[in-house]
């Protein structure tokens, strides 16, 4: 089969799959995800905030939608975050859009620092290629990071203990 026929066949299959799904499925997936899903416009203003984001960060959707991402960015990291954001909006390039996880601290409504991992997707405007939306899928990994820190400390203590013995 010539390559263009194969591509056309894949497109037809993809179209068939999408049209066979319920119209509200995408909304149900976003709302019901166990991971936080944030959708921001190109300015960094939150436009969507699901129930998992409410659970993880403590802000209701009514508080988060329309607010800046500064809501969850620790103050000491904001300058660096926004410099990277502006560069990405200008160039359309980020190191984190190929499925890599970014691990950073975040702030909750009650002021606690938590550890999160997230992936992002840049969604561009079809007509001009400009970034229109930034979608982040976020997981709270605070407990896991604490366990890993504890294990590293125990390992270091064991190594120190065994290196002292003859």
Q: What digits encode the pLDDT tens for the residues 42-57?
A: 999 999 999 999 999 9
Rounded to the nearest 5 degrees, what angle is found at the Cα of 69, between the Cα atoms of 57 and 143?
30
The DSSP element (H or E) to which 39 belongs, if any, is strand 36-41
Would you place residue 1 in the very low, low, confident or very high pLDDT band (cuts 50, 70, 90)?
A: low
Would you place residue 164 in the very low, low, confident or very high pLDDT band (cuts 50, 70, 90)?
A: low
| Tokens linked to 62 | 């009514």
Give me the residue spans of the domains in the chain. Answer: 34-141
Amino acid 82: pLDDT: 96
Rounded to the nearest 5 degrees, what angle is found at the Cα of 94, between the Cα atoms of 91 and 95?
145
Q: Which CATH class is domain 34-141?
A: alpha beta
Q: Which of 94-98, 118-122, 125-129, 157-161 has the lowest mean pLDDT?
A: 94-98
Amino acid 128: pLDDT: 85
Report the share of the chain in percent with pLDDT over 90.
56
φ and ψ of 103, to 5 deg? -110, 125
């Amino acid at each position: 089969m010539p390559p263009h026929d194969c591509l056309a066949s894949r497109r037809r299959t993809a179209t068939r799959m999408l049209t066979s799904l319920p119209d509200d499925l995408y909304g149900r997936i976003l709302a019901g995800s166990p991971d936080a899903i944030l959708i921001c416009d190109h300015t960094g203003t939150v436009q969507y905030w699901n129930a998992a984001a409410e659970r993880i960060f403590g802000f209701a959707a009514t508080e988060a939608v329309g607010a800046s991402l500064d809501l969850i960015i620790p103050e000491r990291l904001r300058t660096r975050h926004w410099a990277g954001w502006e560069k990405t909006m200008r160039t359309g390039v980020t190191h984190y859009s190929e499925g890599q996880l970014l691990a950073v601290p975040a702030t909750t409504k009650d002021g606690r620092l938590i550890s999160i991992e997230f992936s992002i997707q840049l969604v561009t405007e079809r007509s001009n290629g400009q970034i229109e939306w930034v979608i982040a899928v976020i997981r709270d990994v605070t407990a896991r990071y604490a366990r890993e820190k504890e294990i590293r400390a125990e390992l270091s203590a064991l190594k120190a203990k065994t290196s002292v013995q003859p």
